[in-house]
DNA sequence: TATGGGGTTGGAGTGCGCTCCAAGCAAGCG
DNA sequence: CGCTTGCTTGGAGCGCACTCCAACCCCATA
C-alpha cells in the first residue's frame, strides 16, 4: 500500500500583506497585469459553472469582482487563487457557510489573523480525522475485495478440477 | 506529519458462505442467538436515527428486518455488521443509490461476486484519490497556518521591541 | 440592420439524504 | 381504566449546494 507524505511548508518573510496569504506555487493562465478573465474563462479554468461563480459572489464567498465598462465580471489571478483555496476547503467537507465566515474574516483584515488560524487549525484536525477514517475504510474494502478474489480462485480451481 | 498504513487483509478459507462476506473483527453487543435488538438499541449502537434506519429499509439498502410478534423490528448482529459497512461506504461519499445497487447484488447471491468485486474496486480507487486530495489540502492548510503563526511571531517581536 | 453569442439579474427549482409529522397500536404500570 | 412509553406507517418537509429560468443588455460580424 502506498503512503503519502505531507510536506510541512514554510512561508518566508516575503509573504506580502495580501488577503490571500502565502502565495501558492500555482501558475496562472496569464501574468499579473493581463489578468482580466471573463466568467467563461474562469469556468474553463476551474471546472465550476458560471451559475456557481455568480452564486459564490452573491452569498459573500467571493468579495466583489471587478467589472468591465459594460458591467461584465472580470476575474483576476487573485480571484483564481481564492477559488483554488475554496476548492480545497470544499473537499474537506466544510459547509459553505463556514467558508463565507472565513471570507468575512479575510475582508475584516489583519486583526482576524488569530481567528483565521484557529479556523484553519480546526479544519486541519477534521482533515486528519477524515484521512484516518478513509484509511480504515480502505482496509475494509481490501478485505472484501480479496474475499471475492479468493472466491474467484476457488471457482477457477473447481472448474479445472 | 504522521502517516497511516493500510493493512492488506487476507480472508482465509474459513470465510463462510454468507451475504456479509469476511467477518470483521467487530464485537457485537450480544452474542449470536440473543441478537434481537430493538430499533432504539440500534440507534444507540450506530448513532443513526430511527428515521434513517427505517428509511434505509424502505429504499432497499437493508433487506427485510425480522419482526417481533407485534410487528416491531428486531435487528440481528448481521444487520449491525451491514450497517457498519454501509457507514464505511457512506464515508467514501458513495451515493446511497449505489449502495442500494450493491445491496441488490448481495441479495442476488453468489452469481454477482464479480460485479461486487468490481464495484468495490472502483470505490477503492475513489478512496485513494480522495485521500490524495486530502493530503494535498492538508499541505495548503499547513502553509496558511504557518503563515498566520509567523505573523503572530512578528507581532510579538514588535510588541516587545 | 439583423443575427448570434456572450454576458447580466432576481428568483424559482432540483436532487440528495435525511428528518419530521400525524395518527395509530401494543405493552406495562398505578 | 387511564396514562406513558415505544414502536408502527405513508407521506410531507427541510437544508444544503447548487442549477436553471426568463427577460434583458451589449457588441461583433455578415
Domain assignment present for residue A21? The answer is no
Looking at A108, A123, A141, which one is the last position of a domain? Answer: A108
Domain assignment present for residue A20? The answer is no
B3 closest CB neighbour out of A3, A113, A146 = A3
For residue B75, which of B120, B123, B41, B25 has the smallest C-alpha distance? B41
Q: What are phi and psi of B94, to 5 degrees?
A: -60, 130
pLDDT at A71 over 60: yes
Q: What angle do CA B108, B111, B115 make, to 5 degrees?
A: 90
Task: Report pLDDT digits (tens) over B131-147.
Answer: 999 999 999 999 999 99
The mean pLDDT value for B32-51 works out to: 94
CATH of the domain at A38: 1.10.1660.10
Which residue of A lies nearest to B85 if distances are taken between CA atoms?
A: A140
User: What is the predicted pLDDT for the residue at A22?
Assistant: 58
Pair B86, B138 in one domain: no
User: What is the predicted pLDDT for the residue at A12?
Assistant: 36
B29 touches strand C (CB under 7 A): no
Contacts of A38 (CB under 8 A, 6+ apart): A72, A73, A74, A75
Q: B134 vs A8: CB contact, 8 Å cut-off?
A: no
Q: Which B residues in the span 108-147 are in contact with A, Cβ-Cβ below 8 Å? A: 110, 113-114, 116-117, 120-121, 123-124, 127-128, 130-147
Pair A37, A94 in one domain: yes
Average pLDDT, rounded, for chain B:
86
pLDDT at A47 over 50: yes
Please count the structural domains in chain B.
2
In the block, which residue shows the cell 512561508?
A11
pLDDT at B87 over 60: yes
B92 touches strand C (CB under 7 A): no
User: What is the predicted pLDDT for the residue at A7?
Assistant: 35
Q: A48 lies in which domain range?
A: 32-108
Pair B135, B159 in one domain: yes
Domain assignment present for residue B157? The answer is yes
Amino acid at each position: 500500500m502506498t503512503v503519502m507524505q505531507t510536506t510541512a511548508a514554510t512561508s518566508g518573510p516575503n509573504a506580502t500583506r495580501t488577503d490571500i496569504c502565502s502565495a501558492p506555487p500555482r501558475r496562472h493562465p496569464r501574468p499579473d497585469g493581463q489578468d482580466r478573465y471573463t466568467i467563461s474563462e474562469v469556468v474553463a479554468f476551474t471546472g465550476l459553472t458560471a451559475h456557481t461563480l455568480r452564486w459564490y459572489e452573491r452569498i459573500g464567498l467571493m468579495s466583489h469582482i471587478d467589472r468591465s465598462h459594460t458591467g461584465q465580471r472580470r476575474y483576476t489571478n487573485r480571484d483564481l487563487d481564492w477559488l483554488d483555496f475554496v476548492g480545497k476547503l470544499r473537499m474537506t467537507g466544510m459547509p459553505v457557510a463556514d467558508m463565507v465566515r472565513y471570507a468575512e474574516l479575510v475582508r475584516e483584515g489583519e486583526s482576524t489573523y488569530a481567528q483565521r488560524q484557529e479556523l484553519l487549525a480546526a479544519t486541519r484536525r477534521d482533515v486528519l480525522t477524515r484521512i484516518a477514517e478513509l484509511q480504515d475504510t480502505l482496509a475494509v474494502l481490501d478485505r472484501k475485495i480479496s474475499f471475492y478474489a479468493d472466491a474467484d480462485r476457488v471457482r477457477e480451481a473447481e472448474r479445472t478440477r
